[in-house]
Chain A
Amino acid sequence: MNPVDAVAGDGAAEEVGATAAADAVVLRGVSKHFNTGRKGTVHALDDVDLTIRRGEFVSLIGPSGCGKSTLLRLIANLIEPTAGEVVVNGKPARQARRDQDYGMAFQQAGLFDWRTVARNVELPLEMKGWDKARRRERSAEMLRMVKLDDFGRHMPWQLSGGMQQRVAIARALASHPPLLLMDEPFGALDEMTREHMQAELLSICASQGTTVVFVTHSIPEAVYLSDRVVVMSARPGRITEIVPIGLGAGRDDATRDRPEFFAGVTAVREALRGVEGMAAMGGVDDR
C-alpha cells in the first residue's frame, strides 16, 4: 500500500530523519475471529494490511459489523489478533499500550463521576506516576487547549455533552501520546456541536502533530477530518478501498462548501455502495 513501508531499526533511524521514522501504525495480515473452533465462528477481520504514517488522520468507515471498532481495539491492544502482526509506534502493540503510546476516546465520554474534570484529565498521568504538581500543570494546560480553562474544579455531570467529550479528548491527549484512537467520539453529539468539535479536533491534532485513527459512520465527518478514508466491508471484515482526501491543511467551516469536499463525499459514498452490494451477496453465499 505504502511504498515507504520502513519499520526502521531504532539506532540509525534518528539521523536519517523523517523518511526512516517508524510509521505510526502498521498492520500486517491481521485477522480476528471470535468464537474460533466453534460453530458460529465470526470472522470480524480477515487478512487486513494497513499502514498509517505519522501525523496522518485516517478514518475507518463501513457498515455495522465490518470490524472497524475491532480494528481500533486491535491497534489499542485491547484485544489480541487471531493472526498477523500489529506494530504501533515501531513496537509490538502490547508494548505500545504499556508505554501509553496512544490515547483513546470513546462514543461515551466515560468520565469518572467521582472525580473533578481536572482529575479526570490527570488519570493517565497518575498511571505514569507523575507527581501532583506536574499533573496539575499538565491538566491545566490540556483544559486550556480544549477551551475549558475555568471548569477544572467542576464535576463532569455539571458539563454539557460536548464539553464532556472535550474533557475526554483532553484526557486522551494528557500524556502527549503520538497516537490518538477514537471510536465514534462525536456520535452522541448534536450536529452543530459535532461540526464545532471536528474543527477543534483538527486544530489540536495539527498543533501536537498527533496521528489519529478515527472510527465513524458519518461520511461527511470522515471526509472533513481525514487525509485518507479506509472503507471496509462486513462478513468477513476487510478493507475494500482507501479513498485519499485532498483537502489539505487549515480546514474550516468554508471547507464543507468546497467542491473537493463534495468530491470526497461522493467517492466515499460510492466505495460504500460497492461494499453494501458485496456484503449482501456475501451474506447469501455464506450461511
Chain B
Amino acid sequence: MNPPSALARSAKRVVMFALAIGLVVVAWELYRNLGPDKGGKVFGWTVLPKANARVMPSVADILGRFADPLGRGGEAMWWFLTKSAWYTLQLAFLGFLIGSLLGIGLAVVMSRLRIFERALMPYLVISQTVPLIALAPLIAGWGGKLSLFGWEWQRWTSVVTMGVFLSFFPVALGTLRGLKSAPAASVELMDSLAAPWRVTLVKLRFPAAVPHMVPALKLGAAGAVIGVIVGEISVGLRGGVGRPIIEFARQFSSDPAKVYTAILAAAVVGLVMAMLVSAFDAFLMRRRPKEAVA
C-alpha cells in the first residue's frame, strides 16, 4: 500500500480541475453550435432554441476580449481585470477575516450558555433575511460621516462591512454546531479532569469543531465576495470588479462577450477565497483520519 505523494496528488487535482473547466467549455460550444434553431424536443426533453452570439458568445470571443485594450488606447483588459480582482480579493479577504472572527466569537458566546443562543439567534436570523441591497445605502452613507477614535470611516470600509455582513452568519452557525459536536464522553473526560470551561474550549471543543467549521468558512468566503462586490456597486467604489461588472453589463446589447470577462474575474476571486479555506482545512486536518472529512 503506497499512498501517492503529495505532489502526485496535487498534480491530479490540477488536471481534474482543468478537465472540469474543459467539460463546461465543450458543453457550451456544443450547445451553441448544435442546438436546434427553433427549439423542440430531443428524446422527449424540451430544448430551448439555439442561442445566438448575443446570449451565448463563443468562448473564443470571450477570451479574445481579455486581450483587447480597455477603451481607446487603454491598458489591456486582462491586466485591468487582474488589478481589479486583486483589489476586490483584498477587500473580500478582510471582510471574510473580520466576519469569521465575529462569527466564531458569537458561536463561542452562544455555546457558553443556552440563554445567549436563545437571545441572539433571532437577531442573527433577522439580520440575514434583510436583503443586503436594502442596507447598502445605509452603510454606504457612513462614508465620510463616521469617525472611530480619530480614524475616518472610508468608502472601502463600507464595502468591507458588507462583506462582513454576508460572511459572519454561516461561520457562526457552523462553528456553534461544531463546538457542540464534541462527544459527551470527551466532555465528561474534561470535567473529570476538572478542566475549566476555557481549557475545554481550546483543547476539545475547537479541535472537534474544525470539520464543521470548514464548510461554514467556505460559505462565509463566498458570502464575503458577494457582499464586497455588491458593496462596490452600491457605494460606487472604483478599483474592484464590481464597477466593471455593472459597466460592462450596460454594454451587454452591443458587446455581450465583454460582460463575461468581468463575471470570470469575479469568479476567480471566489475561487481564490475557496482555495485559501481549503488550504487552511488541509493544514488543520493533516493528521486526522481522512474519512472523517465531510
Contacts and interface: CB of A to CB of B under 8 A. Distances in A.
Interface in B19-45: none
Nearest to A175: B193
Contacts of B204: 112
A76 B210 CA distance: 30
Contacts of A104: 188-189, 192
B288 A78 contact: no
B199 A110 contact: no
Contact of B289 (A102, A106, A157): A157
B289 A113 contact: yes
Given A113-B288, A157-B289, A106 B189 contact: yes
Interface residues of B, number: 19
Interface string A104-135: 10111010111010000001101100000000
A97 interface: yes
B294 to A, nearest CB: 14
B195 interface: yes
Contact of A78 (B192, B203, B287): B192
Residue among A73, A76, A114 with most chain B CB within 10 A: A114
A104 to B, nearest CB: 5
A127 B185 contact: no
Contacts of A126: 203
Contact of A110 (B183, B203, B287): B183
Nearest to A97: B194
A139 interface: no
B287 A114 contact: yes
Contacts of B185: 106-108, 110
A100 B193 CA distance: 6
Contacts of A219: none
A110 to B, nearest CB: 4
B253 interface: no
B109 to A, nearest CB: 24
A97 B189 contact: no
Residue among A78, A98, A107, A127 with most chain B CB within 10 A: A127
| Secondary structure class of chain B's binding surface, majority of residues | helix
Interface string A74-85: 001010000000
Contacts of B207: 112-114
Contacts of A112: 186, 203-204, 207
Contacts of A73: 188
Given A112-B186, A113-B289, A123 B203 contact: yes
B214 to A, nearest CB: 14
B183 A108 contact: yes
B285 to A, nearest CB: 8
Contacts of A116: 287
Residue among A100, A106, A181 with most chain B CB within 10 A: A106
A258 B189 CA distance: 37
B141 to A, nearest CB: 46
A124 B183 contact: no
B186 A110 contact: yes
A118 to B, nearest CB: 13
B292 interface: yes
Nearest to A113: B288
B191 A78 contact: yes
Contacts of B183: 108, 110
A141 B171 CA distance: 42
Contact of B192 (A102, A108, A157): A102
Given A108-B185, A127-B199, A114 B288 contact: yes
A154 to B, nearest CB: 10
A155 B207 CA distance: 15
A21 B204 CA distance: 37
Contacts of B193: 100, 123-124, 127
Contacts of A76: 192
Interface string A255-273: 0000000000000000000
Interface of A: 73, 76, 78, 97-98, 100, 102-104, 106-108, 110, 112-114, 116, 123-124, 126-127, 155, 157, 181
6 contacts: A78-B188, A102-B192, A113-B289, A114-B210, A127-B194, A157-B292
A-B CB proximity, top 8 nearest: A157-B289, A110-B185, A114-B207, A106-B185, A104-B192, A127-B193, A98-B194, A110-B186
